[in-house]
Chains A and B, each alone.
Chain A
């Protein structure tokens, strides 16, 4: 279908639905949602995949209930509008607190990710040559397996709503990682990896993937660290300090700050799948989430991140605001309907505006409250060396191997690839199979050192899972080096 005709049909669809009594209606049309995945496993190209998605998603609010419909068939815009409206009408039969979209002025704008070289326009041969070169660098006599994976994304979509908003976005994401593996002295597999991060600034096209300092330049480093893991003793169970490098700190902030602060979780809309949150509405402005060293922002005006997207999927411009200020919870990750419900239930204005965190992974999924860039702000405790030198008994931990979190995010258990033991201010040896666990508020209360801006990088998350139907979302986390004391580490015998 011609683009002009489609736009006309979408606009008339919105008008028709509103004329028939809907409270709000929006539509997202993706002309393109493409990605390319290349995986070299022991030098064999196991994935050489291009995907292309295109279609229309329509959301209708009717008498306080959402209906949504999507179709990949271009001939079907009118049917998609009809189905969404019909779904909303049925949903409205069971409503206790009617959802509302307080009237907003129309938003018109464009957002294009900052890019020099569109990664999907780079010839495949050039991309493979880059990966093959990196694969050679990962080879070594002690290396049993090598895995390199890149995932390159380009999305072009248009947004309309019944308030007159119209937004065009072109988003580019580049994700990459490399892993080396080998058997340790007990015959068990160990791994060490490096994932592409961003400095937070600059552009995020193919040029980012090829910058050695962001990823590929760590090939020798991860091989050497793996060699040390192979001979390393196992971490013993016990309480000690842990120093999280950004590769691990990003998981910590993601699971125990980001997810608990999603307002739909706090309100109980995720109970049947992802779980709830220990945070309550009355916690906002009151709850001591962590020590005074803990400052956390949403979005953070980070130019180069998968969590930077200009406008969310209900047309709200991305906002820069604090979630936690000197350890006190001050805000949440919010969308328009969720803040309206909170204000309605509380009988006062708990939130004055949406946090611009309503996001959808594809045209065929309805937006839900998601993380943007949830970042721990740099502190003033110096660089990694200085933090280590001020640590009596601890571990430096990097890169997640597993994560398991309580259903209200009140407790967690993480395992990591590697630990460096710290005794009396010095790294003494490498330890294998590190794990640590804790209870969220107690853990952050024990945050006693936050690295300066020299330690801060933006780690990329390509696959945050949430929602039903399930959605994978791209997120960024700016994280400095962090130290926590009195942490349970290792496994009980």
Chain B
């Protein structure tokens, strides 16, 4: 945990700034990160970082300036200097045509309900042992890769708007494992997520691999372009959902008619009535933040209920520009896609559905046309062709290019089980993010546009 010296100094600098009439928010971010990476059945990297950042954001009338420091914040005058940089930048900034919204910490809050010190101090030897166990249990003739990130994130917010502060410390871990056949080149993968010791186990991965390996002994199948029924696994669903939210539910994209929902308004039916998407920071399948990075208190926030658009999210700039109220969504979202009534076993759910493509994860999703809601990405790990729920064989890398509207309107079945799917990345600072999604979704008439014989 953070040495109290830094928050104390921030509060001192904040109070001094407030007396001078400066409007500023101070955001301290400390991470203790650890990541082990596996490649070619070996540890290819074992890394740990101890990094402390400070963001200072200043509003001066209609002008704004900011400064971010990543360095030794305990040095004399460092925090004051960062404030001065932001103040100086704001003083000469181009004024906005709208009034910037001041960052106000709504409620004093201290959170550590998702903190497990054992994760912060996790011995990397445990990770090595876990990967070793997977290799030994499944067979050492395969080629194994993977990565396991774990660590703690501590955030301290304080601003000149009031005397309140918000503090959170939490731990998180993101695990993945890839098994590749050394000659035939097909790949299986498993993903696990959590915030406490015991959330990641070798047994869970081993069980999934052993279930799938027999299927992958069958010859690879090349899927021709056309319309297919697709069974999306939880990881694929979470990745598509992340893109759907960004492109369709962002207030900026709506106000400026950039996104695919820009012609819709609250109350319009936009997707299947099976689809409900909310932001629920209390959901334990997600990483639970009680406040966002601007100090707004977070609460249950419906985006889409039974296919009907309810709310969009607004960042400070968009809210200021378009006269809207900012929503508490700066930072980690706790998106929850409500589960359905489908059987827990996806293969059994697809039993009487003829030919179904099972795509557990998608590689490299992108948005060729945001206005139309068109996304594209290709299958990679563990993808299978099902015939009436029976595995006919693995499929080669297969590209989906279709719209969110089509995929989420033609929903046939949603699993009754919800899972945690970790969607964090480690670009820049540590900021854990996980969605709660049904363990699978079956959609009809999904457009397949290409495939390649990727197992050669």
Chain B interfacial residues counted at CB < 8 A: 94
A103: Cβ under 8 A from any B Cβ: no
B275: Cβ under 8 A from any A Cβ: no
B371: Cβ under 8 A from any A Cβ: yes
- Residues A93 and B128 in contact, CB atoms below 8 Å apart: yes
- Expressed in whole angstroms, the minimum distance between the Cβ of A358 and any Cβ of chain B is 13
| Complex Cα gap A181–B45 (Å) | 44
Q: Which chain B residue has the least Cβ–Cβ distance from A33?
A: B70
A272: Cβ under 8 A from any B Cβ: yes
Task: Name the segment of A378-386, A397-405, A478-486 touching the other chain.
Answer: A397-405
B42: Cβ under 8 A from any A Cβ: yes
Given A272-B37, A439-B452, A469-B35, also A413-B368 (CB < 8 A): yes
- Expressed in whole angstroms, the minimum distance between the Cβ of A58 and any Cβ of chain B is 10
Q: Which residues of B contact A50 (CB under 8 A)?
A: 66-68, 85-86, 89
- Expressed in whole angstroms, the minimum distance between the Cβ of B379 and any Cβ of chain A is 9
Q: 0/1 per residue, B394-410, Cβ < 8 Å to A?
A: 00010101000000000
- Expressed in whole angstroms, the minimum distance between the Cβ of A441 and any Cβ of chain B is 10
Interface hits, A124-162 → B, CB 8 Å: 124-125, 128, 131-132, 144-145
- Residues B378 and A411 in contact, CB atoms below 8 Å apart: yes
Tell me the interface secondary structure of chain B in the complex: strand
Interface hits, A262-284 → B, CB 8 Å: 264, 267-273, 275-276
Interface hits, B311-348 → A, CB 8 Å: 317, 321
Task: Name the segment of A60-68, A111-119, A203-211, A452-460 touching the other chain.
Answer: A60-68
- Residues B364 and A405 in contact, CB atoms below 8 Å apart: yes
Looking at the complex, which one of A92, A187, A403 makes contact with B263 (CB distance below 8 Å)? A187
- Residues B96 and A91 in contact, CB atoms below 8 Å apart: no
A252: Cβ under 8 A from any B Cβ: no
Q: 0/1 per residue, A191-229, Cβ < 8 Å to B?
A: 000000000000000000000000000000000000000
- Residues A88 and B46 in contact, CB atoms below 8 Å apart: yes
- Residues B40 and A268 in contact, CB atoms below 8 Å apart: yes
B416: Cβ under 8 A from any A Cβ: no
Given A50-B89, A187-B263, A189-B370, also A71-B50 (CB < 8 A): yes
- Residues B397 and A407 in contact, CB atoms below 8 Å apart: yes
Looking at the complex, which one of B64, B147, B374 makes contact with A48 (CB distance below 8 Å)? B64
| Complex Cα gap A406–B374 (Å) | 18
Interface hits, B22-81 → A, CB 8 Å: 33, 35-53, 63-72, 74-75
B146: Cβ under 8 A from any A Cβ: yes
Q: Which residues of A contact B225 (CB under 8 A)?
A: 492
- Expressed in whole angstroms, the minimum distance between the Cβ of B225 and any Cβ of chain A is 6
- Residues B40 and A402 in contact, CB atoms below 8 Å apart: no
- Residues A132 and B94 in contact, CB atoms below 8 Å apart: yes
Given A50-B85, A54-B72, also A268-B145 (CB < 8 A): yes
- Residues B47 and A94 in contact, CB atoms below 8 Å apart: no
Q: Which chain A residue has the least Cβ–Cβ distance from B258?
A: A189
Q: Which residues of B contact A188 (CB under 8 A)?
A: 369, 371-372
A44: Cβ under 8 A from any B Cβ: yes
Interface hits, A429-467 → B, CB 8 Å: 433, 435, 437, 439, 465
A249: Cβ under 8 A from any B Cβ: no
A19: Cβ under 8 A from any B Cβ: no
Chain A interfacial residues counted at CB < 8 A: 89
Looking at the complex, which one of B36, B47, B71 makes contact with A53 (CB distance below 8 Å)? B71
- Residues B37 and A468 in contact, CB atoms below 8 Å apart: yes
Q: Which residues of B contact A405 (CB under 8 A)?
A: 364
Q: Which residues of A contact B98 (CB under 8 A)?
A: 44
- Residues A97 and B71 in contact, CB atoms below 8 Å apart: no
Q: Which residues of B contact A178 (CB under 8 A)?
A: none
- Expressed in whole angstroms, the minimum distance between the Cβ of A265 and any Cβ of chain B is 10
Q: Which residues of B contact A366 (CB under 8 A)?
A: 45, 47
B447: Cβ under 8 A from any A Cβ: yes
Task: Name the segment of A73-81, A311-319, A321-329, A387-395 touching the other chain.
Answer: A73-81
- Residues B42 and A72 in contact, CB atoms below 8 Å apart: no
A343: Cβ under 8 A from any B Cβ: no
Interface hits, B419-454 → A, CB 8 Å: 425-427, 447, 449-450, 452, 454
| Complex Cα gap A471–B49 (Å) | 14
Q: Which residues of B contact A270 (CB under 8 A)?
A: 39
- Residues A402 and B366 in contact, CB atoms below 8 Å apart: yes
A428: Cβ under 8 A from any B Cβ: no
| Complex Cα gap A50–B365 (Å) | 31
- Expressed in whole angstroms, the minimum distance between the Cβ of B288 and any Cβ of chain A is 23
Q: Which residues of B contact A69 (CB under 8 A)?
A: 47-49
Q: Which residues of B contact A287 (CB under 8 A)?
A: none
- Residues B149 and A468 in contact, CB atoms below 8 Å apart: yes
Q: Which chain B residue has the least Cβ–Cβ distance from A438?
A: B450
A83: Cβ under 8 A from any B Cβ: yes
| Complex Cα gap A187–B421 (Å) | 35
Q: Which residues of B contact A87 (CB under 8 A)?
A: 46-48, 124
- Residues A49 and B67 in contact, CB atoms below 8 Å apart: yes
- Residues B426 and A468 in contact, CB atoms below 8 Å apart: yes
Q: Which residues of A contact B425 (CB under 8 A)?
A: 470
Q: Which residues of A contact B17 (CB under 8 A)?
A: none
- Residues A404 and B378 in contact, CB atoms below 8 Å apart: yes
A425: Cβ under 8 A from any B Cβ: no
Q: Which residues of A contact B369 (CB under 8 A)?
A: 188, 401-402, 415, 433
- Residues B399 and A411 in contact, CB atoms below 8 Å apart: yes
Q: Which residues of A contact B177 (CB under 8 A)?
A: 272
Looking at the complex, which one of B50, B95, B399 makes contact with A70 (CB distance below 8 Å)? B50
A55: Cβ under 8 A from any B Cβ: yes
Given A94-B43, A128-B94, A411-B452, also A71-B49 (CB < 8 A): yes
- Residues A44 and B321 in contact, CB atoms below 8 Å apart: yes
Given A268-B145, A410-B397, also A49-B68 (CB < 8 A): yes
- Expressed in whole angstroms, the minimum distance between the Cβ of A36 and any Cβ of chain B is 9
Interface hits, A172-193 → B, CB 8 Å: 181, 183, 187-189
- Residues B46 and A68 in contact, CB atoms below 8 Å apart: yes
Q: Which residues of A contact B72 (CB under 8 A)?
A: 54-55, 72-75
Given A364-B49, A491-B401, also A406-B452 (CB < 8 A): yes
- Residues A74 and B45 in contact, CB atoms below 8 Å apart: no
B217: Cβ under 8 A from any A Cβ: no
Q: Which residues of A contact B33 (CB under 8 A)?
A: 469
Q: Which residues of B contact A472 (CB under 8 A)?
A: 427
Looking at the complex, which one of B42, B46, B53, B449 makes contact with A90 (CB distance below 8 Å)? B46
Looking at the complex, which one of A48, A66, A189, A404 makes contact with B365 (CB distance below 8 Å)? A404
- Residues A44 and B317 in contact, CB atoms below 8 Å apart: yes
- Residues A95 and B43 in contact, CB atoms below 8 Å apart: yes
- Residues A46 and B366 in contact, CB atoms below 8 Å apart: no
B92: Cβ under 8 A from any A Cβ: yes
Q: Which residues of A contact B14 (CB under 8 A)?
A: none
Q: Which chain B residue has the least Cβ–Cβ distance from A51?
A: B68
Q: Which residues of B contact A73 (CB under 8 A)?
A: 50, 52, 72, 74
Q: Which residues of A contact B450 (CB under 8 A)?
A: 411, 413, 437
- Residues A404 and B371 in contact, CB atoms below 8 Å apart: no
Interface hits, B285-306 → A, CB 8 Å: none
| Complex Cα gap A433–B368 (Å) | 8
Q: Which residues of A contact B378 (CB under 8 A)?
A: 404, 406-407, 411
Looking at the complex, which one of A43, A47, A72, A470 makes contact with B52 (CB distance below 8 Å)? A72
| Complex Cα gap A272–B41 (Å) | 12
B201: Cβ under 8 A from any A Cβ: no
B204: Cβ under 8 A from any A Cβ: no
**What are 10 A-B pairs at a CB distance below 8 A?**
A74-B72, A74-B75, A87-B46, A125-B92, A267-B40, A402-B376, A406-B363, A410-B452, A410-B454, A415-B368
- Residues of chain B whose beta carbon lies under 8 Å from any beta carbon of chain A: 33, 35-53, 63-72, 74-75, 85-86, 88-90, 92-98, 123-125, 128, 131-132, 143, 145-147, 149, 176-178, 180, 187, 189, 225, 256-258, 263, 317, 321, 363-372, 374, 376-378, 380, 397, 399, 401, 425-427, 447, 449-450, 452, 454
Given contacts A188-B372, A469-B49, A471-B427, 11 further A-B contacts (CB under 8 A): A45-B93, A50-B66, A53-B69, A69-B49, A87-B48, A93-B125, A181-B256, A270-B39, A402-B376, A435-B368, A468-B37
